[in-house]
Amino acid sequence: MSELRGAYTALVTPFDEAGGRLDLPALDRILAAQAAGGIRGVVPCGTTGETPVLEPGEYRTMVQHTVEVAHALDMEVIAGAGANSTAHAIANHRLVAELGSDAALHVAPYYNRPSQEGLYAHFMAIADSADLPVVLYDVPGRTGVRIAPETVHRLAGHPNIRGLKAAGGSIDDVTEVLLGCDLAVLSGDDTLTLPMMAVGARGVVSVLGNVLPVVISDLCSAVQESRWADARDIHLRSHPLASALLSLDANPVPVKTAMELAGQCIGSLRLPLVRPERVVREKLAELMDPFGAVICREAVEA
């Protein structure tokens, strides 16, 4: 895998209207839109991908199909492979390596909430299990456990541990990580991409990228090229919608709704997630209105 840097999109998983089957033609259209929008890579089967409700065969199909299509479009793939069982996470890790992923995203074990020593042992066992880059995923609001910067520093010594998706909402934690190692940090919160990159993060794994890939790509490019005024402008323009996608309802309810409003046929959600109330749809439509021309252009290009 090349250096982790730039704009990656945390993909939604498209289902048919009944939520009963994966919709692979819809996935093809999503991936084409990502490539047209300048996205460097995609992340299937993460939080935004409703991974807990995928059957094992669906998980394999989603990763395999994404790898095949994304690579043909010259995009990287970081497949979500995390689990709260170390043995299950290792099995997933080996599977996505076999399927051709460029890296694997591993969330901190959720619900069982291990100690920092437990987290260290968990991630080291995964990194030892296959010759595939590991991207750590710190999202304590989902998992109930934080990967402390000191633990990240210890893990960074393993040659297969290459990055950190930081979704803890703390610039201080990102700064502490960067002070102690040279691991590639990617923002896991769209609203914090600019401030995280300002202190040294190298990009983002974006939810907003599903709707506006070119905006996320442009933001990362502006920072990389030290066009700070442009980056600030993009950040301020996109912040209300980015915030709404993660606050109006549980992810990925708002982003799937936004994609539907943008004319993308991605089907339904799977229980226990349900369609949002009318007020959520109205708010998203209002926030998307300023980007109408961009949304329409990306839909045509895809």
What sign has the CA pseudo-torsion 48, 96, 166, 302?
A: negative
What is the C-alpha separation between 218 and 221, in angstroms, rounded?
5
Tokens of 250: 């549980």
**Phi and psi at residue 139, in whole multiples of 5°?**
-140, 70
**Residue holding tokens 């506006």?**
212
79: nearest Cα among 41, 111, 116, 105: 105
Alpha helices in 73-158 (DSSP H): 86-98, 116-129, 140-143, 149-155
Residue of 8, 120, 165, 256 marked active site: 165
Strands 203-206 and 184-187: parallel
**Phi and psi at residue 277, in whole multiples of 5°?**
-70, 160
Beta-bridged to residue 134, according to DSSP, are 104, 161
Alpha helices in the chain (DSSP H): 24-36, 56-72, 86-98, 116-129, 140-143, 149-155, 171-180, 193-198, 213-224, 228-245, 253-261, 278-288, 292-301
**Phi and psi at residue 29, in whole multiples of 5°?**
-65, -40
Query: Is residue 262 classed as helix, strand or coil in its secondary structure?
Result: coil
Tokens of 122: 């968990």
- The verdict on whether 110 is a catalytic residue reads no
- The verdict on whether 137 is a catalytic residue reads yes
What is the C-alpha separation between 143 and 80, in angstroms, rounded?
15
Residue of 8, 59, 120, 137 marked active site: 137
Residues noted as catalytic? 137, 165
